[in-house]
Amino acid sequence: MSASVSNHPLHVACIMDGNGRWARRRGLPRTDGHTAGEEALAEVVRSAAARQVGWLTAFGFSTENWVRPRTEVRHILSLHRKLFSRTEEMNRNNARTRWIGRPFSDKGARTPVLVQKAITKAIADTSGNTGLSVTIAFDYGSRAELVRASRLAMSQGVVTPSSIQANLYDPEMPPVDLLVRTSGEARISNFMLWQIKGAHIYFTERPWPDFNRQEFDQAIASLTGSPA
Protein backbone atom coordinates (compact mmCIF):
# COMPACT_ATOMS: atom_id res chain seq x y z
CA MET A 1 0.00 0.00 0.00
CA SER A 2 1.45 3.38 -0.88
CA ALA A 3 1.16 6.38 1.40
CA SER A 4 0.47 9.68 -0.28
CA VAL A 5 -1.38 12.91 0.25
CA SER A 6 -3.05 14.72 -2.68
CA ASN A 7 -0.95 12.81 -5.18
CA HIS A 8 2.47 13.66 -3.84
CA PRO A 9 4.56 11.15 -1.92
CA LEU A 10 4.10 11.52 1.80
CA HIS A 11 6.68 13.38 3.87
CA VAL A 12 6.84 12.20 7.49
CA ALA A 13 9.10 14.00 9.99
CA CYS A 14 9.96 12.68 13.46
CA ILE A 15 11.07 14.36 16.67
CA MET A 16 12.50 11.32 18.42
CA ASP A 17 12.00 12.17 22.07
CA GLY A 18 12.11 10.06 25.22
CA ASN A 19 15.24 7.92 24.88
CA GLY A 20 16.45 9.01 28.32
CA ARG A 21 13.12 8.34 30.04
CA TRP A 22 12.85 4.94 28.32
CA ALA A 23 16.24 4.00 29.76
CA ARG A 24 15.53 5.41 33.23
CA ARG A 25 12.33 3.35 33.55
CA ARG A 26 14.42 0.25 32.93
CA GLY A 27 17.21 1.24 35.30
CA LEU A 28 19.59 1.61 32.34
CA PRO A 29 22.01 4.41 31.46
CA ARG A 30 20.66 7.12 29.12
CA THR A 31 23.09 5.98 26.46
CA ASP A 32 21.22 2.64 26.21
CA GLY A 33 18.08 4.63 25.44
CA HIS A 34 19.85 6.31 22.51
CA THR A 35 21.16 2.95 21.28
CA ALA A 36 17.59 1.61 21.30
CA GLY A 37 16.48 4.86 19.63
CA GLU A 38 18.85 4.32 16.72
CA GLU A 39 17.43 0.79 16.26
CA ALA A 40 13.89 2.20 16.36
CA LEU A 41 14.79 4.67 13.62
CA ALA A 42 16.19 1.86 11.45
CA GLU A 43 12.86 0.02 11.89
CA VAL A 44 10.91 3.18 10.99
CA VAL A 45 13.03 3.51 7.82
CA ARG A 46 12.08 -0.06 6.87
CA SER A 47 8.41 0.63 7.65
CA ALA A 48 8.44 3.86 5.64
CA ALA A 49 10.05 2.13 2.65
CA ALA A 50 7.47 -0.68 2.84
CA ARG A 51 4.64 1.88 2.93
CA GLN A 52 6.13 3.74 -0.04
CA VAL A 53 6.47 6.93 1.95
CA GLY A 54 8.43 9.44 -0.17
CA TRP A 55 10.35 11.35 2.48
CA LEU A 56 11.28 10.58 6.07
CA THR A 57 13.10 13.23 8.09
CA ALA A 58 14.41 12.59 11.61
CA PHE A 59 15.78 15.04 14.16
CA GLY A 60 19.03 13.30 15.07
CA PHE A 61 20.95 16.06 16.84
CA SER A 62 20.06 19.69 17.33
CA THR A 63 22.17 22.83 17.60
CA GLU A 64 20.99 22.88 21.25
CA ASN A 65 22.07 19.29 22.01
CA TRP A 66 25.81 20.16 22.21
CA VAL A 67 25.39 21.22 25.86
CA ARG A 68 24.60 17.65 26.97
CA PRO A 69 27.23 15.76 29.00
CA ARG A 70 30.29 14.92 26.93
CA THR A 71 29.94 11.15 27.24
CA GLU A 72 26.32 11.32 26.08
CA VAL A 73 27.21 13.54 23.10
CA ARG A 74 30.04 11.15 22.17
CA HIS A 75 27.64 8.22 22.30
CA ILE A 76 25.04 9.95 20.13
CA LEU A 77 27.76 10.86 17.61
CA SER A 78 28.89 7.24 17.42
CA LEU A 79 25.27 6.19 16.83
CA HIS A 80 25.07 8.62 13.92
CA ARG A 81 28.15 7.02 12.42
CA LYS A 82 26.44 3.63 12.86
CA LEU A 83 23.24 4.92 11.26
CA PHE A 84 25.07 6.49 8.32
CA SER A 85 26.95 3.22 7.73
CA ARG A 86 23.76 1.19 7.21
CA THR A 87 24.37 1.39 3.46
CA GLU A 88 23.45 -2.18 2.57
CA GLU A 89 20.14 -1.83 4.35
CA MET A 90 19.43 1.48 2.67
CA ASN A 91 20.23 -0.03 -0.72
CA ARG A 92 17.99 -3.04 0.00
CA ASN A 93 15.17 -0.58 0.70
CA ASN A 94 15.98 1.57 -2.36
CA ALA A 95 16.37 4.47 0.10
CA ARG A 96 18.74 7.39 -0.19
CA THR A 97 20.39 9.27 2.62
CA ARG A 98 20.21 13.04 2.85
CA TRP A 99 21.28 15.43 5.56
CA ILE A 100 20.26 18.88 6.79
CA GLY A 101 22.21 20.97 9.27
CA ARG A 102 24.68 23.81 9.51
CA PRO A 103 26.93 23.47 6.43
CA PHE A 104 30.30 22.10 7.56
CA SER A 105 32.25 25.20 6.59
CA ASP A 106 29.80 27.74 8.07
CA LYS A 107 30.83 29.83 11.06
CA GLY A 108 29.58 28.12 14.23
CA ALA A 109 28.98 24.73 12.56
CA ARG A 110 30.00 21.87 14.85
CA THR A 111 29.71 18.57 12.98
CA PRO A 112 32.91 16.65 13.82
CA VAL A 113 35.06 15.53 10.87
CA LEU A 114 34.33 11.82 11.43
CA VAL A 115 30.59 12.47 11.26
CA GLN A 116 31.07 14.73 8.24
CA LYS A 117 32.85 11.85 6.48
CA ALA A 118 30.10 9.39 7.44
CA ILE A 119 27.43 11.76 6.11
CA THR A 120 29.28 12.43 2.85
CA LYS A 121 29.90 8.72 2.28
CA ALA A 122 26.31 7.70 3.09
CA ILE A 123 24.94 10.27 0.65
CA ALA A 124 27.30 9.12 -2.11
CA ASP A 125 26.75 5.39 -1.48
CA THR A 126 22.96 5.65 -1.67
CA SER A 127 22.60 8.35 -4.32
CA GLY A 128 21.44 5.87 -6.98
CA ASN A 129 18.38 4.82 -4.99
CA THR A 130 15.06 6.11 -6.24
CA GLY A 131 12.58 5.30 -3.46
CA LEU A 132 12.40 6.76 0.03
CA SER A 133 14.55 9.81 0.87
CA VAL A 134 15.77 9.59 4.47
CA THR A 135 17.01 12.91 5.80
CA ILE A 136 18.87 13.13 9.07
CA ALA A 137 18.90 16.53 10.74
CA PHE A 138 22.27 16.77 12.48
CA ASP A 139 23.68 19.96 14.00
CA TYR A 140 20.33 21.32 12.90
CA GLY A 141 18.25 24.22 14.16
CA SER A 142 15.41 25.79 12.23
CA ARG A 143 16.12 29.38 13.28
CA ALA A 144 19.74 29.11 12.10
CA GLU A 145 18.47 27.65 8.82
CA LEU A 146 15.99 30.50 8.32
CA VAL A 147 18.43 33.25 9.25
CA ARG A 148 20.92 31.85 6.73
CA ALA A 149 18.26 31.43 4.01
CA SER A 150 17.02 35.00 4.59
CA ARG A 151 20.54 36.43 4.43
CA LEU A 152 21.29 34.55 1.21
CA ALA A 153 17.98 35.63 -0.33
CA MET A 154 18.72 39.25 0.62
CA SER A 155 22.19 39.07 -0.88
CA GLN A 156 20.54 37.84 -4.09
CA GLY A 157 18.21 40.84 -3.99
CA VAL A 158 14.89 38.96 -3.78
CA VAL A 159 13.13 38.04 -0.56
CA THR A 160 10.04 35.98 -1.31
CA PRO A 161 8.74 32.63 -0.05
CA SER A 162 10.27 30.93 -3.08
CA SER A 163 13.66 32.64 -2.68
CA ILE A 164 13.74 31.61 0.99
CA GLN A 165 12.77 28.05 0.01
CA ALA A 166 15.56 28.02 -2.58
CA ASN A 167 18.11 28.87 0.12
CA LEU A 168 17.07 26.29 2.73
CA TYR A 169 19.57 23.55 3.60
CA ASP A 170 17.72 21.19 1.24
CA PRO A 171 15.64 23.22 -1.22
CA GLU A 172 14.34 20.03 -2.85
CA MET A 173 12.70 18.79 0.33
CA PRO A 174 8.89 18.95 -0.03
CA PRO A 175 6.67 20.30 2.78
CA VAL A 176 6.10 17.98 5.73
CA ASP A 177 2.69 16.28 5.71
CA LEU A 178 2.93 14.55 9.07
CA LEU A 179 5.05 15.52 12.06
CA VAL A 180 5.42 12.90 14.79
CA ARG A 181 6.69 13.65 18.28
CA THR A 182 7.05 10.89 20.81
CA SER A 183 7.13 10.74 24.60
CA GLY A 184 4.23 12.98 25.49
CA GLU A 185 5.77 16.38 24.75
CA ALA A 186 3.52 18.59 22.62
CA ARG A 187 6.26 20.95 21.40
CA ILE A 188 8.08 21.64 18.13
CA SER A 189 11.60 22.41 19.50
CA ASN A 190 13.04 24.48 16.64
CA PHE A 191 12.45 21.74 14.06
CA MET A 192 11.69 22.66 10.44
CA LEU A 193 9.50 25.64 11.27
CA TRP A 194 9.28 26.57 7.57
CA GLN A 195 8.66 23.08 6.22
CA ILE A 196 5.87 22.14 8.70
CA LYS A 197 3.61 25.02 7.68
CA GLY A 198 0.59 22.82 6.87
CA ALA A 199 1.63 19.61 8.62
CA HIS A 200 -0.67 17.41 10.63
CA ILE A 201 0.90 16.80 14.05
CA TYR A 202 0.79 13.44 15.79
CA PHE A 203 1.83 13.35 19.42
CA THR A 204 2.14 10.04 21.21
CA GLU A 205 2.94 9.13 24.82
CA ARG A 206 5.27 6.36 23.68
CA PRO A 207 8.97 7.03 24.06
CA TRP A 208 10.94 6.87 20.79
CA PRO A 209 12.60 3.45 21.40
CA ASP A 210 9.08 1.93 21.56
CA PHE A 211 7.93 3.65 18.37
CA ASN A 212 7.46 0.60 16.16
CA ARG A 213 5.83 -0.33 12.85
CA GLN A 214 2.31 -0.41 14.38
CA GLU A 215 2.76 3.07 15.85
CA PHE A 216 4.09 4.31 12.52
CA ASP A 217 1.00 2.93 10.76
CA GLN A 218 -1.22 4.53 13.39
CA ALA A 219 0.47 7.90 12.88
CA ILE A 220 -0.08 7.67 9.12
CA ALA A 221 -3.70 6.64 9.67
CA SER A 222 -4.20 9.79 11.79
CA LEU A 223 -3.73 11.84 8.61
CA THR A 224 -7.01 10.67 7.15
CA GLY A 225 -9.59 13.35 7.35
CA SER A 226 -7.20 16.14 8.30
CA PRO A 227 -7.34 19.17 6.00
CA ALA A 228 -4.38 19.79 3.66
7: left (phi over 0), alpha (psi -120 to 50) or beta: left
Determine, following the binding rule CB under 6 A, whether residue 101 of this chain makes contact with ligand FPP. Answer: no
Q: Does 20 bind ligand FPP (CB under 6 A)?
A: yes
Which residues are the active-site residues?
A: 17, 65
Among 12, 13, 34, 115, binds ligand FPP (CB under 6 A): 34
Q: Does 98 bind ligand FPP (CB under 6 A)?
A: no
Distance, CA of 29 to CA of 169 (rounded, Å): 34
Tell which one of 10, 79, 100, 173 touches ligand FPP (CB under 6 A). Answer: 79
192 binds ligand FPP (CB under 6 A): no
Residue 21 or residue 46: which is nearer to ligand FPP going by CB? Answer: 21
Among 76, 144, 192, 199, interactor with ligand FPP by CB under 6 A: 76
In Å, how far from its chain's centre is CA 143? Answer: 16
DSSP 209: G
Instruction: Return the residues of window 113-142 that contact ligand FPP according to CB under 6 A.
Output: 136
Contact (Cβ atoms closer than 8 angstroms) between residue 17 and residue 203: no
Minimum distance of ligand FPP from residue 160's CB (angstroms)? 33
CA dihedral 97, 137, 81, 220 (to 10 degrees): -60
By CB atoms closer than 10 A (0-12, 13-18, 19+), residue 186 is exposed
User: Among 47-55, 59-67, 163-171, 189-197, which window interacts with ligand FPP (CB under 6 A)?
Assistant: 59-67
Q: Are 193 and 146 in contact (CB under 8 A)?
A: yes
**Which residue in 5, 12, 41, 219 binds ligand FPP (CB under 6 A)?**
41
Instruction: Give the residue among 90, 77, 162, 169 at the shortest CA–CA distance from 126.
Output: 90
Indicate which single residue of 65, 116, 212, 222 sits in contact with ligand FPP (rule: CB under 6 A). 65
Binding site for ligand FPP (CB under 6 A): 16-21, 34, 37-38, 41, 58, 60-61, 65, 76, 79-80, 83, 136, 183, 208
